[in-house]
Amino acid sequence: MQGEYIIKQISIFSENKPGRLAAIAEALEKSNVNIYAFSIAEANSFGVVRALVDKPDDARSVLEKLGFAVQFTDVIAVRMKDQPGGLHEVAQILGDAGINIEYAYAYSGREAAVLILRVSQAGEAISKIQAAGGSLLRESDLG
Amino acid sequence: MFWNKEMETLRGKDLEELQLKRLKWTISQAEKVPFFKNKLRAEGLSADSIHTPDDVRKLPFTYKTDLREGYPFGFFAVPRRDIVRIHTTSGTTGKPTVVGYTRNDLAAWADLIARNLTMVGLTPEDTFQNAVNYGLFTGGLGFHYGAELMGMMVIPSATGNTKRQIEMINDFGVTSIHCTPGYALHITEVVEQMGTSLPTLRIGVFGAEAWSETMRQELESRLSINAYDSYGMSEMFGPGVAFECPEQNGLHIWEDCFLSEIIDPKTGETLGPGEKGELVITSLSKEAMPLLRYRTGDITMILEDDCPCGRGRRIARIMGRSDDMLVIRGINVFPSQIEHVLLGIPEVGDQYMVYVDRKNHLDEMTIDVEMNRQAFSGELDGLVGLQTMISRKLHDALSLRTTVRLVEPGSLPRFEGKAKRVVDRRGDL
């Protein structure tokens, strides 16, 4: 099943001004949501905060209650060795598989390092990565 | 120096007689426009109700919003075949206001411009650079034909390419320039940056936006020129309605062509000389588009004493607006136009704020608009595309480049009662 490897990223529209990240983080803290990974993409006066969290639905509802524009975005997570060459190995697999990356960010988890990818065709990318020998995470594997 | 001494100095009984005759003619001319015909009939008014020029007060006001209802040609009082040119100006919402001219109108307008330019000391010996937009904006062709009529050598340089403008002034020995005061200051800075000067230039006529005495001193000392204020609006031909004389103390409003009143914008009550209020103008010679008691929205007052130059009534330099119209780089912008554009874009909400700043002496408009929660795709690309699309639609509607900033839903101030969506942060200079 490819679907089990599709992970729900939470994307939050945020103005590019002091205090916005704090407001988001505070809301997540108060609703006891743990953040595994996050990144900020910025354009001119605004940006999108992207996060992988343990309770995406709770996170979405608390942020929407605060007035934020929030969306779920499908991403995939590739396991990397947490040692020199770990990224190179995975990047090679992605290149060989012909995967076009829209954006990516990474974190070091307890068991391994993880590369989060946003790709245009997630299902196709999953098969290609697996065929090229890559190892993907399920939502329950995060953390 | 006078261009049309008889008309420029007409006073007392002679002036009143001419104004009365022309006001009665204007009313009959206006009756050819269904809007005026119905309005006058409803109040039982006609040219016969007018016995002195002051009787103009009996007539109903005409508002900018009325003109919108007539788009495009509903306010023309002559058959279309008699219209030889149109110009447009900002409307209050989606459509511009169209103004039309007969051959006589164009001749009358050019005569007014010639009066103004002669009044400030220009002669056929002068070379005149007309550095304003030449399209539908009245400032370009209006000044162009008036300056030609006067006999000056006219350079239709239009706007943009400041270095080239400076080069032309020096290469052609330009003695007089017409542009917006903001652009004049920009030219001044570029001249200084280039380490050059404009030795032939002696007179600047600046208009289309309000400017201060401080700005006049700045322009006069840095460019070594005399700077004069030009006032007008497309609904009354265009520029040239009122103009400063060499006294630089108020603008002479041409009384043979325009009947002017100052009113309290709230009550509509007529105010006396020295009292500040909204300028209301009734055209006295316009054939194609006569206008009765047109609410200009400009705040000024009639000056009390006589001008040593011998010409008639003067109004003070414009002190502000009675409505929310903004003048950005010489272009009139109504916040309602912005709202109209935003309402047509489902990806954004109907909440917005407009900020006006002056950067390097040029006006900049920034519009904050709330993102619509449902329209957020989660991707940055979509947001950037949306921002570009809004900027483009605003440019189409306003003929003005603006900076659009998408802001979070619910983040803009909500107003109880009258909304204050415009923050004008431009100082005096």
- Per residue of chain B (429 residues), give pLDDT as tens: 999 999 999 999 999 999 999 999 999 999 999 999 999 999 999 999 999 999 999 999 999 999 989 999 999 999 999 999 999 998 877 789 999 999 999 999 999 999 999 999 999 999 999 999 999 999 999 999 999 999 999 999 999 899 999 999 999 999 999 999 989 988 999 999 999 999 999 999 999 888 888 889 999 999 999 999 999 999 999 999 999 999 999 999 999 999 999 999 999 999 999 999 999 999 999 999 999 999 999 999 999 999 999 999 999 999 888 988 898 988 889 888 898 899 899 999 878 999 999 887 789 999 999 988 888 999 998 899 999 999 999 999 898 999 999 999 888 988 876 778 899 998 765
Q: Is the domain of B304 the same as that of B366?
A: no
Residues A71, B405: C-beta atoms closer than 8 Å: no
In angstroms, the CA B103 to CA B107 distance is 6
For the record, the structure tokens of B378 come out as 């989660």
Of B188, B204, B185, B154, give the one whose Cα is nearest residue B363.
B185
Q: Say what the pLDDT of residue B419 is.
A: 74
B120 assigned to some structural domain? yes
Q: Is the domain of B318 the same as that of B365?
A: no
B274 assigned to some structural domain? yes
Pairing of strands A70-80, A46-53: unpaired
B153 assigned to some structural domain? yes
Among B323, B358, B390, the domain boundary falls at B323
Of B234, B217, B225, give the one whose Cα is nearest residue B178.
B225
Q: Say what the pLDDT of residue B155 is.
A: 98
Name the residue in chain A with its Cα closest to that of B372.
Answer: A69
Q: Say what the pLDDT of residue B391 is.
A: 95
Shortest Cα distance from B409 to chain A (angstroms)? Answer: 6
Interface probe, candidates B383, B404, B405, chain A, greatest A C-beta count within 10 A: B383
Q: What residues are paired with B314 via a beta bridge?
A: B252
Main-chain phi, psi angles of B141, to 5 degrees: -65, -35
Q: Say what the pLDDT of residue B335 is.
A: 87
Q: Domain holding B381: CATH number?
A: 3.30.300.30
Q: Give the CA angle between residues B266, B267, B269 to the nearest 5°.
A: 125
In angstroms, the CA A83 to CA A113 distance is 9
Q: Is the domain of B275 the same as that of B385?
A: no
In angstroms, the CA A40 to CA A119 distance is 17
Q: Is the domain of B269 the same as that of B405?
A: no
The residue with tokens 């983080």 is A25
Listed in sequence order, the DSSP H helices in chain A are 20-30, 56-65, 86-97, 122-131
Q: Is the domain of B356 the same as that of B237?
A: no
Q: Say what the pLDDT of residue B359 is.
A: 86
Q: Is the domain of B205 the same as that of B319?
A: yes
Mean pLDDT score, A112-139: 89
B416 assigned to some structural domain? yes
Q: How many CB pairs under 8 A join A and B?
A: 55
Q: Say what the pLDDT of residue B428 is.
A: 61
The whole-chain average pLDDT of chain A stands at 91
In angstroms, the CA B54 to CA B33 distance is 23
Q: Is the domain of B188 the same as that of B133?
A: yes
Which of A11, A13, A72 lies nearest to residue B408, judging by beta carbons? Answer: A13
Q: Say what the pLDDT of residue B211 is.
A: 87
Q: Is the domain of B165 the same as that of B223?
A: yes
Q: What does the CA dihedral B340, B345, B350, B353 come to, rounded to 10 degrees?
A: -70
Interchain contact B371–A (C-beta under 8 A): yes
In angstroms, the CA A46 to CA B411 distance is 13
Q: Which residues contact A132 (CB under 8 A, 6 or more apart)?
A: A93, A94, A96, A97
B247 assigned to some structural domain? yes
- Give me the number of domains chain B comprises: 2
Of B19, B15, B18, B43, give the one whose Cα is nearest residue B31.
B43
B159: left (phi over 0), alpha (psi -120 to 50) or beta: beta
Q: What does the CA dihedral B51, B53, B57, B59 come to, rounded to 10 degrees?
A: 70
Contacts of A71 in chain B (CB under 8 A): 376-378
B372 assigned to some structural domain? yes
Among B273, B306, B323, the domain boundary falls at B323
What percentage of chain A's residues is helix, strand, coil (to nearest 5)? 35, 35, 30
Cβ atoms B119, B148 nearer than 8 A: no
Q: Which residues contact B303 (CB under 8 A, 6 or more apart)?
A: B249, B250, B273, B274, B313, B314, B315, B316
In angstroms, how far apart are the furthest CA atoms of chain B?
A: 74
Cβ atoms B111, B353 nearer than 8 A: no
**Domain span at residue B217?**
80-323
Which of A9, A15, A48 lies nearest to residue B380, judging by beta carbons? Answer: A48
| Domains of chain A, CATH where assigned | 7-73 (3.30.2130.10), 75-141 (3.30.70.260)
Q: Is the domain of B346 the same as that of B303?
A: no
**A103-139 per-residue burial string, b: 16 or more CB within 10 A, e: under 16:** bebbbebeebbbbbbbbeebeebbebbeebebebbee
Q: Is the domain of B99 the same as that of B229?
A: yes
Cβ atoms B92, B124 nearer than 8 A: no
Q: Say what the pLDDT of residue A53 is.
A: 95
Cβ atoms A80, A115 nearer than 8 A: yes
pLDDT top residue among A142 and B224: B224
Of B407, B370, B292, B333, give the one whose Cα is nearest residue B25.
B292
Residues A47, B380: C-beta atoms closer than 8 Å: yes
Q: Say what the pLDDT of residue B417 is.
A: 67
In angstroms, the CA B427 to CA A47 distance is 32
Q: Domain holding B273: CATH number?
A: 3.40.50.12780
Among B265, B292, B323, the domain boundary falls at B323
B68 assigned to some structural domain? no
Residues B373, A73: C-beta atoms closer than 8 Å: no
In angstroms, the CA B20 to CA B15 distance is 8
Listed by number, the residues of chain A in 3-42 with a beta carbon closer than 8 Å to a beta carbon of chain B are 9, 11, 13-15, 20, 41
Which of B372, B383, B410 lies nearest to residue A46, judging by beta carbons? Answer: B383
Listed by number, the residues of chain A in 56-85 with a beta carbon closer than 8 Å to a beta carbon of chain B are 64, 67-73
B49 assigned to some structural domain? no
Q: Is the whole model's pTM more than 0.90, yes or no?
A: no
SS3 B82: helix
In angstroms, the CA B383 to CA B372 distance is 11
Interchain contact A48–B (C-beta under 8 A): yes
- What element of type H or E holds A1? none
Q: Is the domain of B238 the same as that of B338?
A: no
In angstroms, the CA B307 to CA B373 distance is 61
Please state which of the ranges A67-81, A101-115, B110-124, B125-139 shows the lowest mean pLDDT. A101-115
Q: Is the domain of B260 the same as that of B337?
A: no
Interchain contact B382–A (C-beta under 8 A): no
